[in-house]
Structure 1
Amino acid sequence: MAIFLPRPSAPGPSGGRSAARGLRRTWPAAALALGAALALSGCGEQAPAQTSAAPARPVQVTSAHLRPREPEKTFVGVVRARREIDLAFRVGGKVVQRKVEVGDRVVPGDLIARIDPEDLKLELESARAELAAATANLAQTSAEDGRYRSLTAKGAASNAELDRKSLAKDEAIGRLERAKRALELAENRLSYADLMSDTAGVVVSTSAEPGQVVSSGQTIVRVARLDEKEALVALPETALAAARSAAAGVTLWADPNRRIAAHLRELSPQADPASRTYAARFTLDGADETVALGMTATVVLTPKDGAAVARLPLSAVFDKGHGPHVFVVEEATHTLVAKPVELAGFTDDSALIAKGVSEGDKVVTLGVQTLEPGQSVRTVPAKGATATATASISGEVKP
């Protein structure tokens, strides 16, 4: 399309200055009109309008997971035998032999250790001699009692003399009984020179060596019975209630994929003065030979209250006058959906959601006050403390 501008006429002698001023006023307006015409037209076609869609907003999300309201508590301890027996000699003497070492298995009747029996043998011989003397004395007094009874019946002896002989016989009978008991004790003491095991188990410690003189009752070895095994742990005072009421299970460091059922058997009524913790023993139900004494055990206390809640950051919950809500990202459309939720409680840094979210929901955790339902978003991971701080201030996470 051609644009024609008015051609200025030649000025006359008297109107030259006026014509020049008019041309200066009309030329800029004409130039602007020409520029607008060229911009809006192109050989008779109108220029199309330039439009663009709003970009998806980046948001930080977390996956909702339903877990028990009271989390599981774990405590590390060791596997111990419920019963550990200290074996000791019932008589004193010099140890001449020890037959077992730490880790040896023993059964009832096995020889554990032996002391020097010479002194005990001498005591036994003395008891036998005393028995022989008491037996002879009884025979003598019995004979005298019989004679004096005969003489008294004939009138040749007095009744007082008969009474003395009868009492001497009774004393001899008592002396004989005492000698018999002394002989039995001497025989028993000699048998005590051999320390025998009276239980089945494993030797866990030794306290005496051959050549050592020990007293009666001094521990020689300690045997742990293997019929019942326990996990010994130290509990803080905040976990005492959970230990009494929660369901217990034990996992072993050597086999972390296996959980053994357990129950609380013993809880110390007094805290340890040094650690200020309470010793607790959990009996392992059905522990087999693979559970060795001394293994590292983790006691897991699971609350019996099975109510499941989702733990979300406090910044994920908002309330615009219609109750608490959270924003969930729809996976198919990548848009926001405001879901009403029911709060079960709060912790220092989390909100406990009882109802309103499902397992695996992508919940927006930052900047929820600046978002709107139906808004198109894209999820991005947080980039450390800097991104979190920026998101907290600006209401969004920078990609």
Structure 2
Amino acid sequence: MPKILHSTTGLIAAGLTLLSCAGCSSEPVASPRSDATLVDVVTIHHAGGQTSTFDGILRPRRDIALGFRTGGRVLALTVQVGDHVRAGQVLARLSRTEAVADSGQARAELAAATAEATRASEAARRATGLDGIGALSAADVRDRALTATAAAAKRDAAHAAFDRSRATLADSVLVAPEDGVVTERAADSGTVVGAGTTIVRLAAGGPEIEVQLPERVRVTRGTMADASFWSAPGLIAEARLRLVGPAVDGALRLRTARFTVLGDVSQIPFNGSATVTLRMADPKATIRVPLTALGAEGPQPHVWSLSTSGDRVHRQPVHLVDLRGDDAIVSGLPDGQRIVASGGDTLSEGQHVVMAGLVTGGN
């Protein structure tokens, strides 16, 4: 294991003095902008890291069981297992003979009730005031008004029955609620099914890997992982943690986690076995950086890291572990960080820079 050097500032100064002559005769490069400094940039990577591997199962994000709202005999199923369907696409139909007959009867009863209500309403209107001149008794006028009210109620009931029959007719068609893939056909043509019986099962929302994580594993939403699959040994896809269950199993102390698969895994069957490899952050991981990237101002060495946009620099303290030739071994930098490779002694916090070149570094 490399010996940690205690005289950090002196060590860096000595290394920088040896390297300073290499740039004495170089001509300064003109910056493309007057307010920006031209810098060489290096992207650093950890040589290793902590990894944790867990077995999982490839599942759809949503597993939707679809069935008819009413019972009947299945007339036809228009999809097969593995078919990709669109929202609104017809998946199955029930025999509509009885539903059509019921709808026709309800329509006829509505027409009769409407006519009766109209007749009773007109009779009640004509009778209004006749009791005052002795043409009708007050009881007759009242009876005609009550008859009109009852006829209107029967008309409304017949209208509700007709609406219900039309809804039943519409419910004899099963459609896809959203885009997805058919994973199961639970019935065949000619089968008599009840209301709510599963006819077709639909996988929607994209593929995910379900993993049981031990309670001791600390992960956050967005954690990245590599996913491999038993049925396709050569395929490795990137996955991102979408959610972790809020509770653990009482006996096994496991939490259910769901990783969204970012690559194309359409050839992998759902419910197939998968392996998820997490790369855990290791704050003690060391990285090799150019010695010229280190600055010795202050009690702790530092490098200049680039902002997300790549046009500003920020002072990033590091821990010096060892020197190896023209490089330094440091810790305290995240994997994939972009840093200024040289010329950092002229920079200041938040200064605007322009990248002259970008190379990949690391152990």
Please classify the TM superposition score into its range, dividing by the shorter chain length: 0.5 to 0.7
Counterpart residue number, 2:170:
191
Counterpart residue number, 1:169:
148
How far apart are residue 83 of structure 1 and its match?
1.3
The answer to whether structure 1 residue 283 and structure 2 residue 260 are counterparts is yes
Q: Which runs of 5+ in 1 are unaligned?
A: 1-60, 311-353, 359-399
How far apart are residue 112 of structure 1 and its match?
1.4
Are the counterparts in 2 of residues 97 and 210 from structure 1 also a CA contact under 8 Å?
yes
Are the counterparts in 1 of residues 244 and 255 from structure 2 also a CA contact under 8 Å?
no
Counterpart residue number, 2:208:
230
Change (3 A) 1:259 1:135: closer
Name the SS for the 2:128 alignment partner: helix
Are the counterparts in 1 of residues 83 and 181 from structure 2 also a CA contact under 8 Å?
yes
Q: Deviations over 1:71-99 (max 9, x none)?
A: 21011223221112111001001223222
CA–CA distance in structure 1, aligned partners of residues 196 and 188 of structure 2: 15
Q: What letter matches 1:306 in structure 2?
A: P
How far apart are residue 177 of structure 1 and its match?
2.0
Larger Rg: 1
Counterpart residue number, 2:220:
244
Counterpart residue number, 1:304:
281
Are the counterparts in 1 of residues 50 and 281 from structure 2 also a CA contact under 8 Å?
no
How far apart are residue 208 of structure 1 and its match?
1.4
Counterpart residue number, 2:352:
none
Counterpart residue number, 2:69:
90
How far apart are residue 192 of structure 1 and its match?
1.5
Aligned CA RMSD, in angstroms, stands at 3.1
TM-score (structure 1 length as normaliser): 0.54
CA–CA distance in structure 1, aligned partners of residues 56 and 148 of structure 2: 69
Q: What letter matches 1:230 in structure 2?
A: E
The answer to whether structure 1 residue 152 and structure 2 residue 131 are counterparts is yes
How far apart are residue 142 of structure 1 and its match?
1.6
CA–CA distance in structure 1, aligned partners of residues 122 and 237 of structure 2: 81
Counterpart residue number, 1:337:
none
Change (3 A) 1:277 1:270: closer
Counterpart residue number, 2:37:
none
Q: What letter matches 1:248 in structure 2?
A: M
Counterpart residue number, 1:328:
none
Name the SS for the 2:50 alignment partner: coil
Counterpart residue number, 1:130:
109
Counterpart residue number, 1:102:
81
**Residue 203 of structure 1 is aligned with which of 164, 182, 191?**
182
Q: Would you say how many aligned residue pairs link Structure 1 and Structure 2?
A: 246
Are the counterparts in 2 of residues 265 and 283 from structure 1 also a CA contact under 8 Å?
no
Counterpart residue number, 1:382:
none
Q: What letter matches 2:257 in structure 1?
A: A
How far apart are residue 258 of structure 1 and its match?
4.4
TM-score (structure 2 length as normaliser): 0.59
CA–CA distance in structure 2, aligned partners of residues 357 and 278 of structure 1: 44
CA–CA distance in structure 1, aligned partners of residues 67 and 92 of structure 2: 9
Change (3 A) 1:108 1:132: same
Name the SS for the 1:228 alignment partner: strand
> Counting helix residues as a fraction of each chain, which structure ranks higher?
1
CA–CA distance in structure 2, aligned partners of residues 245 and 133 of structure 1: 64
Counterpart residue number, 2:238:
260
How far apart are residue 189 of structure 1 and its match?
0.5
Q: Share of identical aligned residues, percent?
A: 31
How far apart are residue 293 of structure 1 and its match?
4.6
CA–CA distance in structure 2, aligned partners of residues 282 and 233 of structure 1: 8
Are the counterparts in 1 of residues 221 and 241 from structure 2 also a CA contact under 8 Å?
no
Are the counterparts in 2 of residues 248 and 299 from structure 1 also a CA contact under 8 Å?
no
How far apart are residue 272 of structure 1 and its match?
7.8
Q: Which runs of 5+ in 2 are unaligned?
A: 2-45, 288-319, 325-363
Name the SS for the 1:282 alignment partner: strand
Counterpart residue number, 1:212:
191
Are the counterparts in 2 of residues 96 and 211 from structure 1 also a CA contact under 8 Å?
yes
